[in-house]
Structure 1
Amino acid sequence: MPRDSFWNRTRFEGTVKQVEKIVASNITKRFGEKIVLNDFSLAIEKNSVFCLMGPSGCGKTTLVRIMTGLEKADAGFVSGIDPERISFVFQEDRLISHLSALTNAILPLKNTDENKKRGMDALRMLGLQGEEKKRARNLSGGMARRVAIARAMLADADIVFMDEPFKGLDSENREKAIDFVKAYAKDKTLIVVTHSAFEAEKLGGRVFVMPDSQNNFEKMGENE
């Protein structure tokens, strides 16, 4: 996404290198007459895991889209995010269908032998050994999901936004994917939307529940 289009969608403030927190301040978002976020604020420590939970429709995905610049807030601002150093796992996998699993996984990287090896190692950790050359259109839903996770974690990003990243994975592959994310999370901030207390507990870090009122976060638990 071009830098200018990102920064023009929502007002972003602060010098990124000088802030130690990611802050969404006084965010309001309406869709028609429905208020999804109402003067909502939160702060997230950098280089940490932040799991965002809450009932369906409470604004979790909308908040993440505003923080990444994919959605425009009606009011408020976000600081502490460099739009050129973020990566995503969307609810949809968004792979390039005619490219191989490996090529999709290393898409954010230069096409070098070293990066191909990194991609192969990542796919192996995710249980995709032997599937590296298969085109994305021929992957099962669970395989495609894991490739999308690999792509986001391999990217040279400071912040990784993950919206229901493990949805659709069976228990074995979900645990592999969680272990992979934790292994590749060094020096990154993970912001993870999930409905699963199990996933949040396994990932560690701070866990917050977003209430329907949209006025604040209720702290559910924290693992240091």
Structure 2
Amino acid sequence: MRRALLAITGLAAGTTALVVLKGAPGSGQTVPDVPVALAPVTPGGSAAPEPPSPTAAASGSATPSSRASAKPTPKPSADRSPASQGGTRTRTTPAAPRTTTSAPKVTTRTVTGPSVTYEYGSLRVRITLSGSRIVDATAIGLPLGGQSGQRSDDVQARYSGTSGEVVARQSASLSTVSGATYTSTAYKQSLQAALDKA
């Protein structure tokens, strides 16, 4: 028992002396240069810290106790983003800005052409425009009854209304209604004057 106690005490004293002598300033020991490829690797996968340079050992700034007290690198915490932990993160793109300007209001207006006198009477054409587009047309003052009234009805049916030839062609270039040449011509003249006014 006594021998074992002496052996342990001697071992402890020798180790302490070795540490003190090795780390003492001015001990004159030089640290051998170890190539990076042969440097020992720690279990975490990174190379072991480089041994202190001879000047640092001589000044006493890098003792084994100061090396041992260096802080280990922190592990990633749970509150870090997935990208910093090596995971993938979806990139969100900002939404396109919404336009707040509304389309200009389209104004609807009515324009009436001059009264045109022809062989069977007189007529005027009134057109309704939405913006610059003709949306409706009608003849006013057409003769009623008899053969003249029949011709007037034929012209009105062909040219006027929201689905008539005036709206379809958007101009006064209309085909002449058969059997109502004078009425067709008067209608076109008043229509052209209304378009020029519009």
Please tell me whether Structure 1 or Structure 2 has the larger radius of gyration of its CA atoms. Answer: 2
Scaled by the length of structure 2, what TM-score is found? 0.21
Scaled by the length of structure 1, what TM-score is found? 0.19
Which of the two has greater strand per residue? 1
